[in-house]
Amino acid sequence: MEERQLGGTGLRVSALGLGTLTWSRDTDEHEAAEQLHDFVDAGGTLLDTAASYADGAAEELVGSLLGPVVARDDVVLCTKGGVRRTRDGGVVDASRGALLSSLDESLRRLRTDHVDIWLVQSPDPRTPLEETVGALRHALDSGRTRYVGLSNHPGWQTARAASLLGPDHRLAAVEVEYSLLQRGIEREVVPAAADLGIGLLAWSPLGRGVLTGKYRRTVPADSRAASAHLAGFVEPYLGKEAAGIVEALATAAEGLGCSPLELALAWVLGRPQVSSAIVGARTAHQLRAALEVDILLPAAIEEALDEVSAPAFGYPERR
């Protein structure tokens, strides 16, 4: 598998990352172990998780597999903090105390003394960005993480955080949703990342599974859209607008003799600034389809997909 530089840092990550959103919930320890083994065997290195996934159980499962299944040094371990669980659900908390406590708990669950990349999972309107960035700086200085970044933050916060960190504590990565069905980051996040030398980690490059084409006719009983806790996650991409993009993708894939999944991943991996596309699968069988992607996207097909999925631009991005 191809390795790519993470923005302007010296860290290299695999072009495909392995996501663990479903681990310990829809993906049991046996399937997770098989996924991780197959991923590393294919040359994958970037392993992505979060303290909030399955209320910490995903990190615990990852930690139990590092050593018995693959060596800790064989993966670039990325986790996220800043979303804590309460009786009423998830609460965003990117305060210094909450973030550093979350990181300590993540390290305990992951059974390691450091992660390679640590991200703030979501913007916190109640905490000054200066305080959040201070926690990132402290995590770097204390050796708990090698690189830091943000997830799901807008362009202005990305640029401001990079400025606050300064040249000695650079912002290495932004992890954001990016696919043919979600191109909103092209308005401000992508330009900011490109200008500041920040690597882009694209989550859900398959449009929450919709770009595989599995929902073109119906909702499969074993799919995320049929899952009680993930149906709401998929539902936004099951409308008419998304359907038109999926049909165009399927038509193009048929013409190239490949699957919609392969073409959708190739499109994301061909976008400027993308260091890695993070794919999540419920089973090892589903993951293998992504690991086998090896397609060079023809310029004419790329232009056609760009046109059919183009995001709305207006003032002030475009005058």
40 token code pair: 């590393």
Give the C-alpha separation, 267 to 206, whole Å: 10
* Number of domains making up the chain: 1
Report if residue 147 sits inside a domain.
Answer: yes
Report if residue 30 sits inside a domain.
Answer: yes
- Domain extent, residue 62, equals 3-205+271-296
Q: What is the pLDDT of residue 89?
A: 64
Strand partners, 148: 118, 171
**Which SS3 state, helix, strand or coil, does residue 209 take?**
coil
Residue 171, CA distances (Å) to 7, 122, 140, 198 in order: 9, 15, 11, 6
**Which SS3 state, helix, strand or coil, does residue 108 take?**
helix
Report if residue 130 sits inside a domain.
Answer: yes
For residue 175, give every residue at least 6 positions away whose Cβ sits within 8 Å of its Cβ, in sequence order, or none: 48, 78, 80, 119, 149, 150, 151, 152, 200, 201, 202, 203, 278
Q: What is the pTM of this model?
A: 0.94
Q: What is the pLDDT of residue 316?
A: 84
Q: What is the pLDDT of residue 228?
A: 62
Give the C-alpha separation, 11 to 3, whole Å: 10
Peptide bond into 154 cis (omega under 30): no
pLDDT one digit per residue (tens) for the chain, 319 residues: 999 999 999 999 999 999 999 999 989 999 999 999 999 999 999 999 999 999 999 999 999 999 999 999 999 999 999 997 665 667 899 999 999 999 999 999 999 999 999 999 999 999 999 999 999 999 999 999 999 999 999 999 999 999 999 878 999 999 999 999 999 999 999 999 999 999 999 999 999 999 999 888 776 656 665 566 676 778 888 888 999 999 999 999 999 999 999 999 999 999 989 999 999 998 999 999 899 888 889 999 999 999 999 998 888 877 5
For residue 244, give every residue at least 6 positions away whose Cβ sits within 8 Å of its Cβ, in sequence order, or none: 308
Report if residue 62 sits inside a domain.
Answer: yes
Looking up residue 276, the CATH number of its domain turns out to be 3.20.20.100
| DSSP assignment letter at 27 | B
For residue 98, give every residue at least 6 positions away whose Cβ sits within 8 Å of its Cβ, in sequence order, or none: 81, 82, 84
Report if residue 285 sits inside a domain.
Answer: yes
Report if residue 312 sits inside a domain.
Answer: no
Q: What is the pLDDT of residue 314?
A: 85
Active site residue 315: no
Give the C-alpha separation, 256 to 310, whole Å: 22
Give the C-alpha separation, 114 to 56, whole Å: 17
Q: What is the pLDDT of residue 87?
A: 59
Report if residue 93 sits inside a domain.
Answer: yes
Strand partners, 199: 173
Q: What is the pLDDT of residue 221?
A: 57
Q: What is the pLDDT of residue 2?
A: 93
Report if residue 161 sits inside a domain.
Answer: yes
Q: What is the pLDDT of residue 238?
A: 86
* Identified catalytic residue from 53, 147, 215, 237: 53
